[in-house]
Copies of this chain bind each other. A is one copy, B any other.
Amino acid sequence: MTHSTTRRAMLRGSVATAVLATAGTAAAGTAHAERQGSGPNIGILLYDGYSLLDPTGPAEVLSRLPGAKVTMIAERRGPVRTDTGDVAVVADRSIDEVGALDVLLVPGAGNRGTIAAMGNQVLLDWIRRIHRHSRWTTSVCTGSLVLASAGLLDGREATTYWASADYLESRFDVTYRPERYVRSGKIITAAGVSAGVDMALHLASLIAGDTVAKAIQLAVEYDPQPPFDSGNAAHADPRLKELALRLLAESQV
């Protein structure tokens, strides 16, 4: 089998040639090649102590929208570490460099990161400024507490991480809804961590239509089959909840 045949066989179907043509013309090496952004300009706000899947799940989905550009943004450029301290994603832009976005996504974090972000007036000011002209302002997990701290959820319905629901309602003028994601005007809040993937597919359908969103779901082979059925707090045993929160606490720095 020649190398060319090998390549051609990697993806079956009529689109394989186009796929490989794209791959073939790509810049080599690790250089950061910027794609032309004919589609939505999507910004994801990183802050110290975020939970890794909160920004990366939606980024995976939204980056497949036609012409989309996804940018990781933080107060300062550079690596931003997760709640466990184990992983860092690079913020390629500082908030000073970003004055407008089509889509803003604010991820959630562990307690330490969430509390810090809720009290960070520089971040909250930037969120308010971006929200003023965004098409969609979104959050995952305790990111809704950050949006609420910025005053964006006043009088609205929203969701959040299951263990933070009481806090959201007691602290802010927000009605908690135990849904996977909740849309209120141009704001969409998602439930905890993995819910960002479902929210992002919904958002993809709002931006580019159902067919594109369905194709993205297929592109990321999102046909979930968890080995257990224990992800919904409304049906969880109190002891399992306690263990879940203990594992979270012990894994965080």
Contact = CB atoms under 8 A, between A and B. Distances in A.
Given A10-B164, A90-B89, A252-B23, A240 B220 contact: no
B171 A193 contact: no
Contacts of A18: 245-246, 249
A72 to B, nearest CB: 6
Contacts of A202: 227
A231 B223 contact: yes
Q: Which of A71, A84, A233 has the most CB atoms of chain B within a 10 A radius of its CB?
A: A84
Interface in A4-33: 6-7, 9-16, 18-23, 26-27, 29-30, 32-33
A136 interface: no
Contacts of A245: 11, 13, 15-16, 18-19, 219
A198 interface: yes
B88 A92 contact: yes
A224 interface: yes
B52 A60 contact: yes
A215 B162 CA distance: 13
Nearest to A179: B225
A98 interface: no
B250 A22 contact: yes
Given A30-B81, A84-B63, A85-B34, A228 B221 contact: no
Contacts of A72: 86-87
A184 interface: no
A161 B16 CA distance: 14
Contacts of A12: 163, 165-167
Contacts of A250: 22, 66
Contact of A251 (B63, B213, B224): B63
Q: Which of A65, A80, A211, A218 has the most CB atoms of chain B within a 10 A radius of its CB?
A: A218
A71 B51 contact: no
A10 B52 contact: no
Given A197-B224, A218-B231, 10 more contacts: A1-B171, A11-B164, A11-B245, A22-B249, A23-B110, A60-B194, A193-B219, A216-B244, A219-B244, A224-B224
7 contacts: A10-B164, A59-B86, A64-B251, A88-B90, A89-B89, A194-B222, A214-B230
